[in-house]
Chains A and B, each alone.
Chain A
Amino acid sequence: EVQLVESGGGLVQPGGSLRLSCAASGFTFSIYNMNWVRQAPGKGLEWVSHISSSSSAIYYADSVKGRFTISRDNAKNSLYLQMNSLRAEDTAVYYCASYCVSCFGGFDPWGQGTLVTVSS
């Protein structure tokens, strides 16, 4: 079964750091580009970051550039998001999602999400 499982969310103070992980199984993780997408409470979806299969191409939304770092370890079938200098507006459910080449770049599958709450 194709599966993505996020972990690492929690409560953090403004200015703090958190590292999210996404464990992949059931597919050849190393050949797929990956993404992080977030959703603030009661709000819509916001793309956060993209990493190519070999980590050679990385992109960030302006809202997180310079504060967040995406990375991956293909040997461990894992995707990461290092989040520094966190702000209240970073509070959201964070999803990892695979970039589906055969789907014209649609995101599929998605993980179940992990909640990050930035609050003092």
Chain B
Amino acid sequence: DIQMTQSPSSLSASVGDRVTITCRTSQSISSYLNWYQQKPGKAPKLLIFAASTLQSGVPSRFSGSGSGTDFTLTISSLQPEDFATYYCQQSYSTRFTFGPGTKVDIK
């Protein structure tokens, strides 16, 4: 199975900060990398697919980059509604795997 790592596992930030989360995979997955946002008690929400394409309705302050094994999710200016846990996921293999998550909370 393709293994996923994320860093950091958690971070504290202020409204307006630029936030960067990294995801690494154990083998090359081209651009088959997706990012999800999950708030407490809610289902995950697809934010970005194909490493860098914003899902419809997702604010432009979110962006994604990378290919191969190294990927990045960036929030350019953190907003109050962005405090949540973020997961990466690979869809290169049908044995889909998720990263362990990055919790973004308020400093």
Contact = CB atoms under 8 A, between A and B. Distances in A.
B49 A103 contact: yes
Nearest to A35: B96
Interface in A88-120: 95, 99-100, 103-108, 110-113
Given A35-B96, A47-B96, A103 B34 contact: yes
B46 A50 contact: no
B97 interface: yes
A73 interface: no
A57 interface: yes
Interface residues of A, number: 24
Main SS at interface, chain A? strand
A61 interface: yes
B94 A111 contact: no
Contacts of A107: 34, 36, 44, 46, 89, 96
Interface of A: 35, 37, 44-47, 50, 57, 59, 61-62, 95, 99-100, 103-108, 110-113
Interface of B: 1, 31-32, 34, 36, 38, 42-46, 49-50, 53, 55, 87, 89, 91-92, 94-101
